[in-house]
A and B are shown apart, each in its own frame.
Chain A
Amino acid sequence: MDLNIQSLGHYYSDLEILRNINLDVPAGQIVAVIGPSGCGKSTLLRMIGGLEQPTSGAVLQVGETPNDSLNPLTYIFQDFALLPWRSVAGNISLVLEDHKLGSAEVDEIIENVLSRTKLGDFRDAFPHQLSGGMKQRVAIARALAVRPAVLLMDEPLSALDSQTHDLLMDDLIDLWMREKFTSVYVTHNLSEAVHLGHKVVVMSRRPGMITEVVDIDLALDTRKDHPELLIEYQQHLWNIMRDEVRAAELELVDG
């Protein structure tokens, strides 16, 4: 299943947030979205996932959604959004309980996603007993449990310390190598964008428009071996963004 975003625009009351966004998200690719703070990245992602309606334009699903997917468009949130009163396994079963699966099947899915995210030993732990990195792993496990067609990630690694961040980024790369999932990946971090994005969408400051789409033609698992290329991409992205970020900063200062 591909996603096709067509001349999408959005206003919050009189404030124009997004303008004429046209974007393709092809199946099996990670599309990274970067842009200055407040340019509407999270808003765009909420619209892609159907949590909010755009003022104009549309988000289209192209092609069949996979039959076995329980929740084709699935989020991974920056703040994890785990229920504190449910254990790790309980948080995952939460999203399966509405689907009339047998309890054996639910158990099997939970086992499966916990082992894929290396959380097997933490099945019965409560969120407050886990570190930030583990909480995000649980959130990833929960997302995988519903067999998503597209993963919508809003700065999934921003709340983590830099070592955990790097480990989890490697895990995401491994995961993609195994499962070739489709994803829209919003981030502030240019290094994440060039490590994970098949293409990187650069947005302007508010009203958010697409300034440029940079394709990165390098297999995800070989990127680590070409740090100089990645630095080059990163530098290029920063050159596009720098003036926008500076202007966005000033805008905030001016009120």
Chain B
Amino acid sequence: MDKTPGTSRPVRFRGGGFAPRPLGLVGALVFITIIILWELGSRTGVISALVLPAPSEAYVAFEELVRSGLLWKHLSASLQRLIIGWSSGALLGVLVGVAIALFSFARAGLVPLVSAIFPVPKIALLPLFIIWFGIGEGAKVATILFGTFFPTVIATYSGIDNLDRSLVRMGQSFGLSWFSIVRKIILPGALPAILSGFRISAAVAIILLVAAEMIGAEFGVGAYILMAGSLMATDQLIAGVAMLSCMGLTVAWLISRAEKYLLRWRR
């Protein structure tokens, strides 16, 4: 080997990457920067108050909402619909997804149905839901339920389809019961896919919640936003939108926590 100086050099490092690290502060920094720039823009007149109210004005509107005691009314109405609709939609979705993945008959019969109904905007069906379930809570919850059901079904059965069959054979070779195989091998194996399905279905649920509340509700974040919009109270509108974003962030955070705990076996 030639060892004269000048011809020897370290091997160029080309590994690394493809492994995102958690950088929690960066996300917060992005939000703060945007809000500060926005506020500065409004104060200096670059952003006209007619076009977009300053964040501080939206905050005042939000404080007003807190002081009047209406915040809790709107929020609790929305959260109740969201929780009932999403959890029943997700539960039914997982059950049907498992059935599709495990039984040929369910697969043959239900997959075309899912493909046919999934792309229909559920909000278009709201009038039907109102006839079926009444103008009150029923129709709104049903809208959310249907909206979250389909993405969950698809996430569940494709998660199970992708599972390594050799683990199922292992279970059979040790004489595990059918029920044990489903509960201890198939469901935990599909859990990563099911949880990422939950991420999507939770966002869908918030979208549908607002849409349903805009069509007919006395209380709810969606009703608040609609009211603000019809009064051209853009400060209240922004406050309402910010509440939705906070809901989205909270849900995403909860699912991340669940993933961290439930999927701690992944390297």
Chain A residues engaging chain B, CB cutoff 8 angstroms: 49, 51, 70-71, 73-75, 77, 79, 81, 83-86, 94-95, 97-98, 126, 128, 142, 146
> Complex formed: what's the CA distance from A74 to B173 in Å?
7
Residues of A within 8 A of B171 (CB): 94
Q: How long is the Cα–Cα vector from A79 to B184 in the complex, in angstroms? A: 19
Contact between A83 and B176 (Cβ–Cβ < 8 Å)?
Answer: no
B174's nearest neighbour on chain A, judged by CB, is: A95
Interface of A, secondary structure class, is: loop
Q: Which of A75, A84, A97, A98 has a CB less than 8 Å from the CB of B170?
A: A75
**Interface size for chain B: under 10, 10 to 19, 20 to 34, or 35 or more residues?**
20 to 34
- Is B14 interfacial (CB 8 A cutoff)? no
CB of B167 closer than 8 Å to a CB of A? yes
Of the A-B pairs whose beta carbons lie under 8 Å apart in the complex, a sample of 29, sorted by A's number, is: A51-B169, A51-B173, A75-B170, A75-B173, A75-B174, A77-B166, A79-B166, A81-B166, A81-B167, A81-B169, A81-B170, A83-B167, A83-B188, A84-B265, A85-B191, A85-B263, A85-B265, A86-B265, A94-B171, A94-B174, A94-B176, A95-B176, A97-B180, A97-B184, A98-B177, A128-B266, A128-B267, A142-B174, A146-B174
A80 to B176 alpha-carbon distance, docked (Å): 17
CA distance A50 to B267 in the complex (A): 34
Main secondary structure of the interface of B (DSSP, over half): helix
B interface vs A, CB < 8 Å? 166-167, 169-177, 180, 184-185, 188-189, 191, 263, 265-267
Do the beta carbons of A98 and B176 come within 8 Å of each other?
A: yes
Find chain A residues with CB under 8 A from B177 CB: 98
Identify the 6 closest CB pairs spanning chains A and B, nearest first: A81-B170, A85-B265, A95-B174, A75-B173, A128-B267, A85-B188
Chain B residues closer than 8 Å to A98, beta-carbon distance: 175-177, 180
**Closest approach, in angstroms, between the C-beta of A119 and any C-beta of chain B?**
18
- CA distance in complex: A74, B175 (Å): 9
* Distance in angstroms between the alpha carbons of A94 and B265 in the assembled complex: 16
Contact indicator A74/B174 (Cβ below 8 Å): yes
Q: B184 contacts which chain A residues (CB < 8 A)? A: 83, 94, 97
B172 touches A51 (CB 8 A): yes
- Whole-angstrom CA separation of A83 from B185 in the bound complex: 7
Residues of B with C-beta under 8 A to A81? 166-167, 169-170
Interface centre among B167, B180, B265 (most CB of A within 10 A): B265
B194 nearest CB across to chain A (Å) = 13
Contact of A71 among B175, B188, B266 (CB under 8 A): B175
With both beta carbons as reference points, the residue of chain A lying nearest to B180 in the complex is identified as A98
Q: For A126, give its contact among B170, B172, B175, B265 (CB under 8 Å).
A: B265
A-side contacts of B185, CB under 8 Å: 83
Contacts of A97 in B (CB 8 A): 180, 184
